[in-house]
């Protein structure tokens, strides 16, 4: 693909006047501002442009030229063909309301829209349809036989994917309809900072579309009465005037704030200036020293173009944001302000920090001109040269969309770490190198004195200590651009004081999976990948505080304990890398707040909800063990366990955090108890209805052994050595998994419904048998049968019913599906403390009830077979049990195309060898953990051929999907076996000498 700038030097367009129909979404003014730049160039070339939009007409007429030569070339037509996002305020989107509004706006009247728009396009004799980014416009153009071009950095199918996760799968048809509409588009003109957009057939990249300046910095300041040397911040939250009660003390002395979008009735302090509604924002930005606002295309592109430091506040539920944020961070142009600090006016530290930024974008900003030339060429039939990698990019984008649709409600909006562009592109910027490099670690811990514990030869622990030793603030500054998390971590600890480090691995679910909350036996392998957490406690008067935290403390006038947390790896997702809170936020007078209140507290800002996994351990210790925390706490979390892969990333964070805190505060908690406490964090503070096997494996597992545990509630049966002749691998499907997702929760509800039905049926049968006069073999037989029914009537764990009892007595009466309302009317409740029944929803019951009963039997059989003789028959039998488990997951609704493909590839490999008369190397595979994507566990011989076939499967999966699966291979000790490290930096080290 030639450089975008070359398009501007293409042959001149034909002289005949062309007619363009420009469909523009009504969501936000950012779309309008970039559309205006394109329209400006089309009109300047003498073409006629008809704009169909819900954006007010004055937005166009105020900015476009009114020269005699342009008269009659611009036509504005009011049309509402999509709704964008329904926002409750400038920072908050209502996902369900947005989907319902789109259904009302674009789905219900669809046939009428198609007919009306086709007639309109015909009536104006349109040569080309342009869409930013109205889906139905592409379909209408195809129906009429007119080419269409989309312009944008995102498409609504990807944005709405986030809303589907939050609002329910029954709205997915909206996403598929939008994607189908986009597929009719001839070309997508893709802007920098773009999201995955797999629906488009052809893609051409164009430069930033940016509005030019009309006045100089001095002219603007003179008109507003602002001195040249005054510091100015422009307050820009788009077309969403929020009516915030702005206060004078929120600004540093001598600063002025220019407020965009203020309502006529809004009062502002003397150091705030309300700009007129028709004020030209680029001029205001160029006259300012920094900008405070939300990230959208308009604000991001113009901040980059004018090298204006951008202080941003994250928005809820908008998938566009992390890609634009990466673009800003790539050019060192932004810092984040937490929503809490924004709403409470703690602005000063961020404003002062913004002045130290040096934005460095030097790319082209003539996207409007380039786009207009491409539109002219397309209208007359010239083919634009597009990206030769389009096919591979679309496959990769499709995987990301599938990944997004498997997200959990309220979790971070993640950019997968494998979604990166070529070295010459900047969209979803190439992902930063892993903080923990793989270079030699021989001297990584020389800077530290180890006062307790051992490294146990673990390379990742050595790498973690190396990353600590590199947190030298002066060196970080001298090395240029550094991730925000590294800068925050460099001032997190007092290096002269002791700190405590714990480590907890992820786990590979070999057998058992979702049977854990039904009491099943499970077999789990702790993985090589693990999470490290460092904790330091300090008296509140001695704790090092970040500038924003210090500012809040000074305003509050107290020295109460504060918790500060840094999470490494946040650059891979749309979450804040830092979190801080007062310990008193977890207190209600003299006792801990309820789990419900804590869940609400952490949900206030979705970009910081991740902190619930860390700070939630503090609340659980306060609540369950009555621990009194009076010291401040600094916590650094660094995890190598990838998120969303079904290998217990959350459990490893919880277990490592609680183990480190326990070490720092001298709490003696048994490994089993620690795992149960961590499960409470996930169930009650985070709100994910997981079983306990993840936390138990992370806490109690041992390297190269399967943890055999009966989940009633958590009894370790034994540690089973893996026979030398066999081996387990994990392969990631690339589809994001989370136990907080709707599918997992609905299957759990269905399972508990089935248990309640069985208990009620057993109670009825016991009552009937006790009064029945039917002849029986003996009174003893009758009594035993009644006692068995009574036992099943008080059933606590579904897995305690043998398969033969289920099939003989209960199976026929368990319905395939039941509505929540019907179940509640007949049975009252399902007696599960961590899920709730939605009366309006239908639940699968038969498959979720059957699965754990048979899974428990499969796991027990699997465990017994591990001790059998080393033969292909043994491995084939083990593999068959894994396959049965996999397809039972699918029957429950917890499968995915990606995991099915991986399992099928293993089966093909196995059968290929058998058809040649050779002994197979791979024998079984199954989906793991909570299902609905994530990883697959593969079992085979411990030999070179197996490893070669695993690599072949990875490559075949990549060829089919565009995604190369991550391979999980190896094991490591659980948190209990690792213990903890107590370290202190040696006095001669650079940090200690600062």
Active site residues: 694
Q: Is 265 exposed, middle or buried (0-12, 13-18, 19+ CB in 10 A)?
A: exposed
Query: What does the CA dihedral 479, 484, 489, 491 come to, rounded to 10 degrees?
Result: 80
Alpha-carbon gap, residue 841 to 745, rounded angstroms? 12
Q: Measured in Å, how far apart are the chain's first and last C-alpha atoms?
A: 50
- Please say whether the beta carbons of 743 and 939 come within 8 A: no
Angle at 115 between CA 109 and CA 118, to 5 degrees: 130
Q: What's the CA gap between 74 and 892, in Å, rounded?
A: 56
CA 776 → CA 762, 780, 783, 808, distances in Å? 19, 9, 10, 18
Q: Which two tokens stand for residue 603?
A: 């949900």
For residues 334 and 290, give the distance between their C-alpha atoms in angstroms, rounded to a whole number.
Answer: 10
Angle at 467 between CA 464 and CA 469, to 5 degrees: 110
Q: With beta carbons less than 8 A apart as the criterion, state whether 112 and 54 touch.
A: no
**Which 8-state DSSP code applies to residue 839?**
T
Reduced to 3 states, what is the DSSP secondary structure of residue 34? helix
Under 8 Å between Cβ of 324 and 296: yes
φ and ψ of 565, to 5 deg: -130, 135
* H runs (alpha helix) in 23-108: 29-44, 58-61, 95-102
Q: Where are the alpha helices (DSSP H) in 706-819?
A: 742-771, 779-793, 803-805
DSSP assignment of 747-778 equals HHHHHHHHHHHHHHHHHHHHHHHHH-----S-
- Between CA 509 and CA 517 the distance in angstroms is 14
Kindly provide the b/e burial profile for residues 836-859, where b requires at least 16 CB atoms within 10 angstroms of the residue's own CB: ebbeeebbbbbbbbbbbbbbbbbb
Length, in residues, of the chain: 994
For 69, phi then psi, to 5°, come to: -70, -20
- Residues facing residue 706 across a β-bridge: 720
Cα dihedral 701, 702, 704, 708 in deg (nearest 10)? -40
**Are 267 and 247 within 8 A, CB to CB?**
no
Which of 172-188 are b and which e, b meaning 16 or more Cβ less than 10 Å from the residue's Cβ?
Answer: eebbebbbebbebbbbb
The answer to whether the CB of 532 falls within 8 A of the CB of 461 is yes
Two tokens at 948?
Answer: 């070669």
Instruction: Say how far apart CA 516 and CA 755 lie, in whole Å.
Output: 14
- Among 299, 290, 296, CA closest to 335: 290
Query: CB within 8 A of 682, min separation 6: which ones?
Result: 613, 650, 651, 654, 688, 690, 695, 739
- What is the rounded CA–CA span in Å between residue 865 and residue 541? 60
Say if CB 962 and CB 392 are below 8 A apart. yes
Question: Which residue from 252, 260, 449 is spatially nearest to 353, judged by alpha carbons?
Answer: 252
| Residue bearing tokens 């009429």 | 144
Which residues fall within 8 angstroms of residue 222, CB to CB, at 6 or more apart?
Answer: none
The beta-strand segments (E) located in 221-317 are 231-236, 255-259, 272-274, 290-293, 310-312
């Amino acid at each position: 693909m030639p450089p975008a700038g070359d398009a501007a030097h293409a042959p001149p367009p034909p002289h005949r006047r062309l007619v363009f129909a420009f469909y523009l979404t009504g969501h936000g003014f950012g779309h309008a501002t970039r559309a205006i730049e394109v329209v400006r160039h089309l009109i300047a070339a003498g073409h006629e442009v008809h704009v169909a939009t819900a954006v007010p007409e004055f937005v166009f007429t105020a900015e476009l030229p009114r020269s005699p030569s342009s008269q009659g070339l611009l036509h504005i037509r009011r049309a509402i063909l999509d709704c964008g996002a329904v926002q409750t305020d400038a920072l908050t989107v209502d996902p369900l309301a947005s989907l319902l509004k789109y259904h009302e706006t674009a789905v219900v009247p669809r046939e009428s829209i198609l007919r009306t728009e086709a007639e309109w396009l015909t009536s104006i004799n349109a040569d080309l349809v342009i869409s930013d980014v109205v889906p139905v416009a592409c379909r209408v153009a195809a129906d009429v036989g007119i080419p269409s071009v989309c312009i944008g950095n995102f498409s609504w199918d990807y944005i709405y994917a986030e809303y589907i996760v939050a609002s329910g799968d029954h709205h997915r048809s909206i996403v598929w309809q939008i994607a189908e509409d986009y597929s009719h588009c001839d070309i997508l003109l893709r802007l920098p900072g773009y999201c995955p957009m797999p629906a488009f057939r052809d893609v051409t990249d164009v430069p930033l579309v940016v509005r030019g300046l009309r006045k100089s910095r001095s002219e603007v300041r003179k008109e507003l009465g602002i001195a040249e040397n005054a510091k100015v911040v422009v307050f820009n939250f788009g077309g969403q005037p929020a009516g915030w009660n702005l206060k004078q003390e929120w600004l540093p002395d001598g600063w002025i704030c220019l407020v965009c979008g203020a309502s006529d009735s809004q009062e502002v302090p003397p150091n705030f200036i309300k700009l007129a509604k028709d004020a030209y924002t680029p001029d205001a930005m160029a006259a300012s020293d920094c900008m405070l606002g939300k990230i959208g295309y308009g604000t991001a592109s113009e901040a980059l173009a004018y090298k204006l430091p951008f202080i941003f506040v994250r928005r809820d539920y908008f998938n566009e944001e992390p890609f634009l944020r990466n673009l800003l961070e790539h050019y060192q142009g932004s810092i984040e302000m937490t929503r809490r600090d924004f709403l409470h006016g703690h602005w000063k530290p961020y404003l002062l920090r913004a002045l130290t930024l040096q934005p460095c974008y030097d790319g082209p900003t003539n996207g409007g001109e380039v786009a207009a030339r491409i539109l002219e060429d397309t209208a007359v039939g010239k083919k634009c040269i597009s990206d030769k990698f389009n096919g591979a990019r679309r496959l990769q984008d499709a995987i990301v969309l599938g990944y997004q649709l498997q997200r959990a409600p309220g979790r971070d909006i993640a950019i997968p770490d494998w979604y990166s562009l070529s070295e010459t592109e900047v969209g979803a910027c190439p992902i930063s190198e892993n903080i923990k490099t793989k270079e030699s670690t021989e001297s990584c811990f020389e800077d530290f004195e180890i006062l307790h514990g051992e490294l146990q030869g673990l390379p990742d622990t050595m790498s973690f200590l190396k990353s600590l030793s590199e947190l030298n603030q002066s060196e970080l500054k001298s090395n240029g651009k550094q991730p925000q998390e590294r800068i925050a971590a460099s001032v997190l600890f007092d290096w002269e004081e002791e700190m405590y480090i714990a480590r907890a691995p992820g786990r590979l679910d070999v057998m058992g999976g979702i049977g854990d909350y039904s009491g099943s036996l499970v077999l789990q392998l702790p993985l090589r990948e693990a999470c490290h957490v460092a904790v330091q406690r300090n008296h509140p008067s001695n704790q090092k505080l970040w500038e924003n935290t210090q500012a809040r403390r000074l305003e509050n006038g107290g020295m109460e304990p504060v918790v500060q947390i840094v999470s490494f790896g946040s650059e891979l997702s749309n979450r804040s890398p830092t979190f801080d809170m007062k310990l008193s936020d977890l207190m209600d007078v003299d006792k801990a707040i309820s789990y419900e209140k804590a869940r609400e507290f952490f949900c206030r800002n979705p970009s910081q909800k991740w902190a619930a996994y860390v700070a939630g351990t503090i609340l659980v210790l306060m609540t369950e063990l009555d621990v009194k925390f009076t010291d401040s706490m600094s916590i650094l979390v660094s995890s190598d366990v990838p998120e969303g892969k079904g290998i217990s990333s959350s459990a490893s964070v919880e277990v490592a955090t609680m183990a480190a805190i326990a070490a720092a505060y001298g709490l003696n908690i048994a490994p089993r108890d620690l795992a149960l406490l961590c499960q409470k964090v996930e169930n009650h503070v985070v709100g994910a209805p997981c079983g306990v096997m993840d936390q138990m494996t992370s806490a109690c597992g041992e390297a190269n052994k399967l943890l055999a545990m009966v989940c009633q509630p958590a009894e370790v049966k034994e540690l089973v050595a893996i026979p030398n002749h066999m081996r387990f691998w994990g392969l990631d499907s690339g589809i994001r998994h989370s136990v907080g997702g709707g599918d997992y929760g609905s299957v759990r509800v269905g399972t508990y419904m089935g248990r309640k039905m069985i208990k009620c049926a057993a109670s009825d049968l016991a009552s009937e048998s006790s009064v029945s006069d039917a002849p029986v073999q003996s009174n003893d037989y009758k009594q035993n049968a009644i006692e068995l029914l009574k036992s099943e009537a008080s059933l606590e764990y579904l897995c305690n019913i043998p398969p033969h009892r289920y099939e003989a007595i209960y199976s026929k009466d368990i319905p395939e599906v039941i509505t929540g309302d019907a179940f509640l009317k007949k049975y009252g409740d399902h007696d599960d403390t961590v899920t709730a029944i939605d009366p309006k929803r239908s639940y699968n019951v038969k498959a979720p009830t059957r699965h754990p009963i048979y899974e428990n039997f499969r796991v027990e059989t699997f465990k017994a077979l591990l001790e059998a003789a080393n033969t292909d028959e043994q491995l084939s039998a083990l593999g068959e049990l894994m396959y049965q488990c996999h397809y039972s997951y699918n029957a429950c609704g917890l499968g995915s195309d990606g995991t099915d493909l991986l399992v099928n590839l293993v089966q093909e490999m196995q059968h290929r060898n058998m058809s040649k008369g050779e002994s197979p190397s791979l024998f079984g595979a199954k989906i793991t953990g909570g299902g609905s994507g994530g990883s697959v566990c593969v079992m085979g011989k411990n030999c070179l051929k197996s490893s070669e076939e695993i690599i072949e499967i990875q490559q075949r999966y990549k060829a089919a999907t565009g995604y190369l699966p991550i391979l999980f291979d190896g094991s490591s000790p659980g948190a209990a076996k690792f213990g903890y490290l107590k370290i202190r930096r040696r006095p001669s080290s650079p940090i200690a000498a600062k």
